[in-house]
């Protein structure tokens, strides 16, 4: 897809929501925001789109339940938070999607599931089977068991790899910023939103700065990496603010929301999974 006007024709959609979207600054789940996202995803499914959700928030949710005030620094601490938080997160999604008549399925992945050929094929087949059955896969990295050697590293990259894995038409990254700016809008009041990116050039890459929130792992750099993976796989990508009312409906209607990244004309069949880039 090369233009926003084509988005309405998308059959398969991968939507990624970040930690700052699904949790409060305390680390506890933002139930109101999750419900809004769930309702929009359910509506897309009702309209005949195939929907996959890549969600952050397990570590943040675990922090809230365990009473931690700061993001854990060691791998065992992160794994403990993920183990507690993943169940909380899925339970909430399952409950909310059920209210709209949708079935969900939990899928936890590591880098090896995407990089090793037989596991890559198995993961793709499992997701295809879920979509054929009418279920909405809810995907996260398996943080409870993943160590540096088998981590993707951030869910921006994971969502792009999933979009490639299932041959998605479009990837939507919902975050706490409106899109790609010419400079960091939190620091530069003159920063301008870029609404369309035809190709990720060195100049575009240079505009990305800083890391994410204190709860998340990604920043604009990882989002541009995701856009590059998606574009290579033939999928368009949109970055938009999750709190914008009816943001998914507006995006899929082709409205000028966020930043649109055009897909490349030719599709790569297997993306390269680069662990070092996401460490």
- CATH number of the domain residue 103 falls in: 3.40.1160.10
Q: What is the mean pLDDT of residues 246-274?
A: 83
- Flag whether 259 is marked binding: no
Question: Cα separation of 23 and 35, whole Å?
Answer: 12
pLDDT at 74 over 50: yes
Question: Which DSSP letter does residue 96 get?
Answer: H
What is the residue-averaged pLDDT of the chain? 87
pLDDT at 216 over 80: no
- Flag whether 274 is marked binding: no
- Flag whether 133 is marked binding: no
- Flag whether 155 is marked binding: yes
- Flag whether 143 is marked binding: yes
- Flag whether 217 is marked binding: yes
Confidence of residue 269 (pLDDT cuts 50, 70, 90): low
pLDDT of residue 25: 76
Q: Report pLDDT digits (tens) over 173-189.
A: 999 889 999 887 878 88
pLDDT of residue 34: 94
Using an 8 Å Cβ cutoff, are 56 and 17 in contact? Answer: yes
- Flag whether 252 is marked binding: no
**pTM surpassing 0.75?**
yes
- Flag whether 219 is marked binding: yes
pLDDT of residue 276: 39
- Flag whether 220 is marked binding: yes
- Flag whether 122 is marked binding: no
Confidence of residue 148 (pLDDT cuts 50, 70, 90): low
HSE of 205 in the Cβ direction (CA atoms, 13 Å)? 8
Q: What is the mean pLDDT of residues 161-174?
A: 97
Residue 115: how many other CB atoms lie within 10 Å: 18
Nearest to 33 by CA among 60, 69, 8: 60
Q: Report pLDDT digits (tens) over 81-114.
A: 889 999 999 999 999 999 999 999 999 998 888 8
- Flag whether 71 is marked binding: no
Domain that holds residue 79: 4-278
pLDDT at 79 over 50: yes
pLDDT at 213 over 50: no
Q: Which residues contact 238 (CB under 8 A, 6 or more apart)?
A: 7, 170, 171, 172, 173, 251, 257, 258, 259, 260, 261
Domain total of the chain: 1
pLDDT of residue 48: 94
């Amino acid at each position: 897809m090369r233009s926003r006007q084509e988005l309405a024709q998308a059959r398969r959609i991968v939507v990624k929501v970040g930690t700052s979207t699904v949790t409060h600054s305390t680390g506890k789940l933002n139930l109101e925001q999750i419900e809004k996202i769930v309702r929009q995803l359910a509506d897309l499914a009702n309209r005949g789109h195939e929907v996959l959700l890549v969600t952050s928030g397990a570590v943040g949710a675990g922090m809230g339940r365990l009473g931690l005030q700061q993001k854990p620094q060691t791998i065992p601490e992160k794994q403990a938070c993920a183990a507690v938080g993943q169940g909380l997160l899925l339970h909430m999604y399952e409950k909310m999607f059920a209210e709209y008549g949708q079935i969900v399925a939990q899928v936890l992945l590591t880098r090896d599931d995407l990089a090793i050929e037989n596991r890559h094929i198995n993961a793709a087949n499992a997701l295809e089977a879920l979509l054929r059955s009418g279920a909405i896969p809810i995907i996260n990295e398996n943080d409870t068991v993943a160590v540096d050697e088998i981590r993707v590293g951030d869910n921006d990259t994971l969502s792009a790899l999933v979009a490639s894995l299932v041959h998605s038409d479009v990837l939507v990254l919902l975050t706490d910023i409106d899109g790609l700016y010419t400079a960091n809008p939190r620091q530069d009041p003159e920063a301008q939103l870029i609404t369309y990116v035809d190709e990720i050039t060195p100049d575009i890459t240079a505009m990305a700065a800083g890391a994410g929130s204190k709860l998340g792992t990604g920043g604009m750099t990882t989002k541009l990496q995701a856009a590059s993976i998606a574009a290579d796989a033939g999928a368009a990508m949109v970055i938009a603010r999750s709190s914008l009312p009816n943001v998914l409906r507006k995006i899929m209607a082709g409205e000028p929301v966020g930043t649109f990244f055009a897909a490349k004309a030719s599709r790569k069949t297997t993306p390269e999974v680069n662990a070092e880039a996401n460490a």
